[in-house]
Amino acid sequence: MEAPLNLLYRVPPQSGCATIISRAQAHLEYLEFDLARLAAGEEWQGATGDCEAALVILGGRCDIASEGDAWENLGTRADVFDGKATAVYLPPQRSFVVRARAGGAQVAVCKAVSDAGGSPSQRPAGKAQVIRPEDVRARAVGAGNWRREVQDIVGANVAARRLLVGETYSEPGCWSSYPPHKHDQAASPDEVKLEEIYYFRMHPAQGFGIQRIYSGDGDLDEVYAIRDGDAVVIPKGYHPVAAAPGYRVYYLWMLAGPERVMRPRDDPDHAWVHQLEG
């Protein structure tokens, strides 16, 4: 499948909920990305359809209900740079309601086509689940100026079928997703095929970073200046990110594919930098 010419999505300011990246628009098989910005007391009703979904609270507080499940006053951070995430995982074929509390809320909706769930009477797996900050696993990755903090939100802690979700924080002047790695081929045990979407925020907000997406054969080589609120589709290829000096770069990442396994392959031209991590 040919990659779209432009993998960068500028996300315009909006209220309510909007689809930022659809499968059809981005030529993806599994992933979609929605974003909700809700004022205090505002309510949004949605449904997962044929997807499983992670509703990640980027900032603010809200109540989330889905059929027989309900969670009140979720969210502990003002924005993505203010601590770990709170999220709700929902299996396919679930309706849900999000209601913002005082101060409003921003919620990212990470979706992946899934065969888990089914009808309400036939849901042996993929139960709805809240993920609180204490459930989020934080880990330091890399070294030197390619160090970053990775926080796993939807991983082994959630019985999802395909979806993996987390957040990465890069300090000013540092690189992440480095050494460059890819996950676009089913070549077990060395590599597992996964689509990916990044959603970026900057601190301070006027900052920027650089995203490169390239393939080893030269068929794909795109470089983008990324700004606060941008999203990028990664259908294939290596995909390193650089933060400009003076600015922290955050990105929410979501992955999905035939297998729910994180097994990337480093670019052999640059994998040697692992030798410097000791």
**For residue 23, pLDDT beyond 50:** yes
User: Mean per-residue pLDDT for 180-204?
Assistant: 96
Structure tokens at 229: 């609120």
**Integer angstrom CA distances of residue 202 from 40, 94, 249:** 24, 33, 5
User: Mean per-residue pLDDT for 67-96?
Assistant: 97
Reported as a pLDDT band with limits 50, 70 and 90, residue 118 is very low
Residue of 50, 37, 8 whose CA lies nearest to 25: 8
**1, 164, 57, 251: CA torsion to nearest 10:** -60
Reported as a pLDDT band with limits 50, 70 and 90, residue 70 is very high
Reported as a pLDDT band with limits 50, 70 and 90, residue 14 is confident
Question: Who has greater pLDDT, 33 or 11?
Answer: 33
Q: Could you tell me the domains of the chain?
A: 10-276 (2.60.120.10)
CB 62 within 8 A of CB 100: yes
**For residue 119, pLDDT beyond 60:** no
Position 98, amino acid? V
Alpha carbon distance 39, 36 (integer Å): 10
**For residue 71, pLDDT beyond 50:** yes
Rounded percentage of the chain residues whose pLDDT exceeds 90:
88
pLDDT tens, 200-222? Answer: 999 999 999 999 999 999 899 99
